[in-house]
Structure 1
């Protein structure tokens, strides 16, 4: 039984759809999974060392000395903007925009899920290391209420870096790719300096978060996009079909033969 004309048209449109880099198969997936695991082990080890010997305590106090006037207000605003609840809201909004502009649920789910699977597990390192926050009594301009959860790594920086990586990968091959790299890098740097200047994190907490996202993001994408999403039928994108070759053998009754005479 031959497929209907409408089904052929739908399949043709799907096959012409450009494969987004966020959904594309990963090169050397085993290596990226190993790198992700190695990143976790390394950062936990480095965090335990920093907890025992806070080599950046003086730098933390010096950077907190900048927390005055307008710069102090900006850092506080940045910190509040990327706190957990606003971060979830930002992810939902951007995911909705991705879905609306692309018309592809799979792409939107891949975007949100990869960010979440990169950002949220950073709490594993927080719990394993348990590094205290900078001592507020030694800071020149401490915040009114120091967060009580462990300091290493910074969840704010981990989220922003994961968000930027997802956007940059998703926009690969478009005219927005380079602007996303530039603006995303600026955003990460701003948040790194903000949490350090505010005095709620040591500088190494922020840098560790960037390292976390860079090392874990590729593995998180493989697990979410290539392993988990295909388990849900409506999240499977139709692959581009290979051109079919004519099979040898007798033609069907409906085929028309032409003979040269």
Structure 2
């Protein structure tokens, strides 16, 4: 039995649903997605291990942190707080609810949430392995308060935003819509990444690693979720229906 969801059903649902319907579309170039993700994951991990004790980009943090005052400081602080783990989780739940209300399809909403969650949460493994220290706040013009003591590499904030943007882009079927969402999303990612460096809580290399992670892992998470989990659920449901009919 094939693990892929019923293609005719997906086509019908996608056409009727429109918004983010492409999340359930049959995956093309599956091997390329898997290999790209594998290379990206290994690269992020190896680079992290190489620079775990390095502060080669700390001068960039000091430069940007010099602007962490007044309106700029208040804005970047707000950005950091908005994408903290608890608000990010709540935001994901709210966005998933909105997707469910607009699409009226649990499979689209669950794929949306699972892709973001898997991409974001899996980054914690790299954090634990690399365990890079945060930029030294004692050497910054405007230290962030409260001081962040967890691992710095990669950035969970940047990874979450990247996962969100990539998931939305993957869900849009029209090429024009993907381009618009991609451009707006890239600006959002750039803005959040810059805010993290201005706050002095992350090195630029932390942010770059998170962006790479989000770009390569989100398509992999979707590729695994749709045919294996959703396909398996659909197959089990069909088998139950067949068995029930045979018992009649």
> So what's the TM-score if we normalise by structure 2?
0.84
Q: Flag the 1:234–1:125 CA change in 2: closer, same or farther, 3 A.
A: same
Count of matched residue positions in the alignment of Structure 1 and Structure 2: 226
Q: How does 1:143-154 map to 2 (within 5 A)?
A: 143-154=144-155
Q: Deviations over 1:144-181 (max 9, x none)?
A: 22211100000000000100111122123287444322
Unaligned runs of 5+ in 1: 1-11, 238-261
- Alignment partner, residue 187 of structure 2: 186
Q: Flag the 1:142–1:170 CA change in 2: closer, same or farther, 3 A.
A: same
Q: How does 1:15-26 map to 2 (within 5 A)?
A: 16-18=12-14, 20-26=21-27
CA distance in 2, matches of 1:27, 1:13: 17
- Alignment partner, residue 196 of structure 2: 195
Q: Flag the 1:16–1:48 CA change in 2: closer, same or farther, 3 A.
A: closer
Would you tell me which structure has more helix in proportion to its own residues?
2
Q: Deviations over 1:101-140 (max 9, x none)?
A: 1111100001000111111001111111110000011111
Task: Give how far 1:17 is off.
Answer: 3.1
- Alignment partner, residue 232 of structure 1: 233
CA distance in 2, matches of 1:229, 1:67: 46
| Higher Rg | 1
RMSD after superposition: 2.2
- Alignment partner, residue 106 of structure 1: 107
Q: Flag the 1:190–1:235 CA change in 2: closer, same or farther, 3 A.
A: farther
Q: Flag the 1:122–1:231 CA change in 2: closer, same or farther, 3 A.
A: same
CA distance in 1, matches of 2:97, 2:214: 23
Task: Give how far 1:78 is off.
Answer: 0.5
CA distance in 1, matches of 2:198, 2:35: 34
**3-state DSSP of counterpart to 2:182:** helix
Q: Deviations over 1:51-70 (max 9, x none)?
A: 23321011111111111110
CA distance in 2, matches of 1:220, 1:39: 14
The answer to whether the 8 A contact 1:229-1:235 is kept is no
Task: Give how far 1:18 is off.
Answer: 2.7
Unaligned runs of 5+ in 2: 1-7, 16-20, 239-248
